Amino acid sequence: MLKKIAVGILLLSSSVSISLAATNTAAETASGHAKTTATNPEYYADMWYRDSAERNAIYREVYLLAEQIIKQKVAAQNLKPKQWGIVLDIDETALDNSEWNYQHDIQGKQQSWNNFATRSQSIPTPGVKKFINAIHQMGGYINFISNRPATLQAATEKDLKEQGIYFDQVLLDATNQGTSFVDKNPRFTAVINGQSPSKLPAQKILAWFGDNIQDFPGLYQKQMIKQNANGNAYNDFGVNFFILPNPMYGSWEANQFN
Ligand SMILES: [Mg+2]
């Protein structure tokens, strides 16, 4: 599912290159990541995701604010337990798989992503366990909808359980296409209506979580990137939609860089 579209664009002025190279050397010494150079286009994305306080802070911030907003919605709408729920993506939303990116992009290991996923090497993203536990305590269903292939169903549920991440159901991509571009909307609708492949009763979804714009109902990268960033197209974010940062990969890789 993490097939990459080559990005390979690193446009740095010579002076910026020098200063980044210096920073890079320091970072390598500090973290032991002396496996590559700044010419690797994935280096800084992977490093930021794995070794930045900013990444940790953003995840904590998003999950904390979302919890408060959901609490307010449950009270305002007088919702009872099991009448409502939330939908979350898995990879780089609830599970941090950046170990694979580090091994693949920086160390040059050839292990497939699916093989990595079956070996339970992923860890929870910052703040997600506390957040999910709070939602579960409030009576909301935890629905994971991911484009991991359905062949990874058992491995994915095992990994989530081992990492202490509660869930009520996990709906993967039954077509096993192995790409993040599979349309999640039919599964979103199924969860809301309580129809197959959802195994739960109909529920009101109060919030959606993802690291890809296509983790949200009705949103597609091709259309959204053309929208005014300050226009109505993004109005649901911070209200009903909550997005986490992923500079390592995503539907954005197919966009034009201009
Ligand atoms: Mg994801």
pLDDT in tens, 61-91: 999 999 999 999 999 999 999 999 999 999 9
pLDDT at 243 over 80: yes
Mean pLDDT (the chain) is: 87
Beta strands 123-124; 95-96: pairing state: antiparallel
| Ligand 1 centroid from CA 209, angstroms | 9
> Tell me, what's the pLDDT at 122?
94
Question: For the CA atoms of 6, 7, 12, 14, what is the dihedral angle to 10 degrees?
Answer: 0
CA distances from 42 to 100, 104, 137, 173, 226 (A): 13, 10, 39, 27, 25
Would you place residue 36 in the very low, low, confident or very high pLDDT band (cuts 50, 70, 90)?
low
> Tell me, what's the pLDDT at 164?
97
pLDDT at 10 over 70: no
> Tell me, what's the pLDDT at 24?
39
Query: 14-254 — its CATH code?
Result: 3.40.50.1000
| Ligand 1 centroid from CA 212, angstroms | 6
Would you place residue 37 in the very low, low, confident or very high pLDDT band (cuts 50, 70, 90)?
low
Instruction: Please identify every residue whose CB atom is under 5 Å from ligand 1, which is an ion.
Output: 89, 91-92, 211
Pairwise pLDDT comparison (186 vs 10), residue with the higher score: 186
Residues 6+ apart with CB under 8 A from 223: none
> Tell me, what's the pLDDT at 169?
98
| Ligand 1 centroid from CA 97, angstroms | 10
| Ligand 1 centroid from CA 112, angstroms | 17
Length of the chain: 258
pLDDT at 6 over 60: no
Cα 118 to Cα 1: distance, rounded to the nearest angstrom: 13
Cα 253 to Cα 251: distance, rounded to the nearest angstrom: 5
| Ligand 1 centroid from CA 114, angstroms | 14
pLDDT at 38 over 80: no
3-state secondary structure the chain: CECCCCCCCCCCCHHHHHHHHHHHHHHHHHHCCCCCCCCCCCHHHHHHHHCCHHHHHHHHHHHHHHHHHHHHHHHHCCCCCCCEEEEECCECCCEECHHHHHHHHHCCCCCCHHHHHCCCCCEECCCHHHHHHHHHHHCCEEEEEEEEEHHHHHHHHHHHHHCCCCCCEEEEECCCCCECCCCCHHHHHHHHHCCCCCCCCCCEEEEEEECCHHHCCCCCHHHHCCCCCCCHHHCCECCCEEECCCCCCCHHHHCCCC
Backbone φ, ψ for residue 67 (5° rounding): -60, -45
| Ligand 1 centroid from CA 203, angstroms | 23
| Ligand 1 centroid from CA 60, angstroms | 17
| Ligand 1 centroid from CA 137, angstroms | 25
Letter for the amino acid at 17? S
Question: Where do the domains of the chain lie?
Answer: 14-254
| Ligand 1 centroid from CA 96, angstroms | 9
Lowest-confidence region among 96-100, 176-180, 222-226, 234-238: 176-180
The string over 56-87, giving b where at least 16 C-beta atoms fall within 10 Å of a residue's C-beta and e elsewhere, is eebbbebbeebbebbeebbeeeebeeebbbbb
Digit-coded pLDDT (tens) for 194-242: 999 999 999 999 999 999 999 999 999 999 999 999 999 999 999 999 9
| Ligand 1 centroid from CA 208, angstroms | 12
Would you place residue 31 in the very low, low, confident or very high pLDDT band (cuts 50, 70, 90)?
very low
